[in-house]
Structure 1
Amino acid sequence: MNKPLHLFEGYGVELEYMIVHRQSLNVLPITDKLIYDEVGAYLSDVEFGDIAWSNELVLHVVELKTQGPVKSLVNLEQLFQKHVQKINRMLEEHEAMLLPTGAHPLMHPDTDTKLWPHEHNAVYEAYNRIFDCRGHGWANLQSTHLNLPFYNDEEFGRLHAAIRMVLPLVPALSASTPILEGSITGMADTRLEVYRKNQQKIPSITGKVVPEAVFTKAAYEQQIFQRMYRDIAPYDPEGTLQEEFLNSRGAIARFERNTIELRLLDIQESPVADMAVLQAVVAVVQALIAERWATLQELMLWQEDRLAEILLEVIQKGQKAVITDREFMRTFGYACEGSCTAGELWQYLVQETLELEEQPAVAQAIHIIVSRGNLSSRILEALGPAPTAEQITKVYRQLAACLQQGGVFLPDKAC
């Protein structure tokens, strides 16, 4: 087993993309064919040095991930971009391509979903038997995951305290899912809205999305893991799912690899936009751990219900969400006069914490996100109030072009 890393000594990043037809954008369940074409076997994980490809659960999604922790997020978008372009070249013979954003805007999961039939099938079959994985909350939610390490219990407590405070603000930057089944949903982050409800049969698995105020491994084991395992046991007599991966909170402790995994981020239109969002989130987490605006003891007092209330508002309204909890704002050193929005808070936080002088492409991406709006709002700006399926298809083909080219989407110009 590798020696645990200290705080911010490494980063693990995962990017999920859907495979679709190049013209119609119809969902294509061919991830196994893609992997077979490359390595001659139906494997769920394939390593290529720094980056790996993998599949989890559904057959139309491919995940690109760092192969183990990387020392820095700087220039990581270039590695991911090379693999995006390689996969798109391989998919050409299938008339297919990768589609970004956290949810396919026209997918009908009841008819379009096929589960991965190869390795790890027992786990996927157990999930499907208990929860029916054909819904949007299972089959149509592509995300960006960030793993941050901790060395010991003390570092876990500090990291968990800081991440819990940032979670309610994450969708204001990363929301990219304003449409499901051809209709504007009224939510900035529809992926998170379905994500938080997809295991309602057993509420303890997701909790309030914002994790409970627990700051040691023993407390986490007792208050989160054991409750989940106990609650799912009647549905999972073989114990197939009674592992750490069952936890579906917005940030989950992975004690087997000494990391906390952030799962709230919708995937963006290209890796450079994802790295901009990740670096902004990490910079704020670092500032909180350094007690720049509040003590860690003060952060640990925040209960999940209070933070979840802010999160739900941001899921719905994104950067336009009005945050009325002044004490929450003060935790970030933001002196709010009158009503303040999540977008205004992020403009302040980016200015206060993020240094990107040597990363002009990432700096441009985060500038667009905080000044022109998250991807969800830019998609709506491009579509107008009542888009047709043809208009939606046209805009999402433009987003696929941004992914291929490594650009940032703006409604009034091409990537």
Structure 2
Amino acid sequence: MSDPLHLFDAYGVELEYMIVDAQSLDVRPIADLLLEKAAGEIISEVELGELAWSNELALHVIELKTNGPAASLDPLTDYFQQHVTQANEYLSSLGARLLPTAMHPWMDPHTVQLWPHDYNPIYQAYNRIFDCRGHGWANLQSVHLNLPFCGDDEFGRLHAAIRLIMPLLPALAASSPICDGKPSGFLDTRMEVYRTNSQRIPSLTAAIVPEPIYTEGDYQREIFEKMYADIEPHDPEGMLQYPFLNARGAIARFDRGAIEIRVLDIQECPAADLAILQAVVATLKALVSEKWTSFAEQQLVATMPLSQLFLETIRTADTTPITDGDLLRQFGYSARQRPTVAELWRHILAELGQTPAEESPLDVILTDGPLARRILQKAGHDLSHLQPVYSELAECLSQGAMFRM
């Protein structure tokens, strides 16, 4: 049995992409055929060296992920880009390719096809209870970051830090401004539809920002037991009575000794995703080390103001003003003038000595805005240009390039 991983000893990263027609960019439900080309048979997961590929609920989505915990984020950009290239090579023979961004801009979610192979009974249970024919289930691609902990003290410190940073994340990562062929009014539409996809049983997502819970025992009593009780009348076979039922923006996996952050939209290329993850990890390390405030003070931050700011940042992302002085103090921001979330990110990175290099992926995001803003600016008022814009995004993914205005 391997030794337990402690805070920031390793990282698990998962990137989700749509499979689309190479010409029309309409979704193609052929993830099983892609996995068959990679593995020689239709299976739900194939290990390919440093990374693994696996299915998701929707048959047009493929997930690329670290094959076990990675000791460092540094080499992952190259690994993910190499696997994107490999996947596109397999897909080209099927007349398809990978498409980035967190939502397909014009797909009809009512036509979604669920993964029909192993694990299908679990997906069918979700479909029966929640009806997966909607954007909140059928049309959302994200980045998941898994961070380890060992014991209650490490869990509590990491959970407290993640709660504080969560409302700031859409300012960097929003990439889903268009839904049903038109702007939705949200730069992070994925999170807007995600937060309501389980509204039949509200305890699954709660306020997206997790509750101020800092021990495994409290988490078990206040989150897991309530969720399982609430789902039981709809799930008599007990197929969903597992930690994966938790749909908060960050979920504790005590069975794995990790917390998974789930609120990051997928970007135009792995270099952008990993740049965001590097900034997130650096900030979490500072919070956990009590650089600006103590763990005791961090624990006192209530869910409601964090959730309210999160709801604002999924709409306006980088330009969202922060008026909560208590939250700003958690990041060492004491100026009288209240910043936007983008300005707070620049402050944080400067405090950490990590001001991004000019023209680096993070500099592009902070200077030109998150990908969602750049998509809207490129598309302009004539939304008949959506297909060329998203073709350019597919090419950015293929080439590992940033999407520029």
Above 0.5 in TM-score?
yes
Letter of the 1:407 counterpart: A
For residues 190-249 of structure 1, the C-alpha deviation after alignment (integer angstroms, 9 at most, x for no partner) is 000000000000000000000000000000000000000000000001110010000000
CA contact (8 A) 1:102 1:268 kept: yes
Secondary structure of 2:104's counterpart equals: coil
How is 1:3-18 mapped onto 2 (pairs within 5 angstroms)?
3-18=3-18
Where does residue 127 of structure 1 map in the other structure? 126
CA distance in structure 2 between the partners assigned to 1:303 and 1:173 by the alignment: 23
User: Any unmatched runs of 5+ in structure 1?
Assistant: none
What secondary structure, in the 3-state scheme, does the structure 1 residue paired with 2:93 have? helix
Partner in structure 2 of residue 106 of structure 1: 106
1:340 alignment partner, SS class = coil
Is the Cα contact below 8 Å between 2:38 and 2:46 reproduced in 1? no
Equivalent of 2:401, from 371, 389, 407?
A: 407
Instruction: Give the superposition deviation at 1:75.
Output: 2.2
Aligned 8 A contact 1:329 1:336 in 2? no
Q: Tell me the equivalent position of 1:38.
A: 38
For the 8 Å contact 2:155–2:215, the answer to whether it is kept is: yes
Q: Is the 8 A contact 2:155 2:214 kept in 1?
A: yes
Distance of 2:306 and 2:252 partners within structure 1 = 18
Instruction: Identify the residue that residue 26 of structure 2 maps to in structure 1.
Output: 26
Amino acid at match of 2:376: L
**Deviation sequence 1:366-403 (CA, Å, 0-9, x none):** 1111111110111111111x332x30110011011110
- Tell me which residue corresponds to 1:82: 82
Supply the distance in 1 between the matched residues of 2:366 and 2:324 (Cα, whole angstroms).
21
Q: CA deviation at 1:186?
A: 1.2
* Structure 1, 322-331 or 193-202: larger mean CA deviation: 322-331
CA distance in 2, matches of 1:356, 1:54: 35
Q: Aligned to 1:248, what secondary structure does the other structure show? A: coil
Aligned residue number for residue 376 of structure 1: 372
Give the one of 372, 379, 387 matched to 2:382.
Answer: 387
Give the partner amino acid of 2:38.
E
Cα RMSD, aligned residues only? 1.3
Contact 1:283 1:354 in 2 (8 A): no
Contact 1:15–1:145 (8 Å) recurs in 2: yes
Instruction: Tell me, in whole angstroms, the C-alpha distance in 2 between the residues paired with 1:234 and 1:243.
Output: 15
- The corresponding residue for 1:162 is 161
- For the 8 Å contact 1:326–1:336, the answer to whether it is kept is no
1:244-275 CA-to-partner distances (Å, cap 9, x unmatched) read 00000000001111000000000000000000
TM-score by length of 1: 0.96
Helix, strand or coil at the partner of 1:65: strand
Residues 1:179 and 2:174 aligned together: no
One-letter amino acid matched to 2:396: C
Question: How big is each residue's C-alpha offset from its partner over 1:285-307, in whole Å with a ceiling of 9 and x where there is no partner?
Answer: 10001111100100001121121
CA distance in 1, matches of 2:7, 2:244: 22
8 Å CA contact 2:349–2:355 kept in 1: the answer is no
1:352 aligned partner, one-letter code: E
TM-score by length of 2: 0.98
1:274-293 correspondence runs (5 A): 274-293=273-292
Gaps of at least 5 residues in structure 2 are: none
Counting only pairs closer than 5 Å after superposition, residues 183-194 of structure 1 correspond to structure 2 as 183-194=182-193
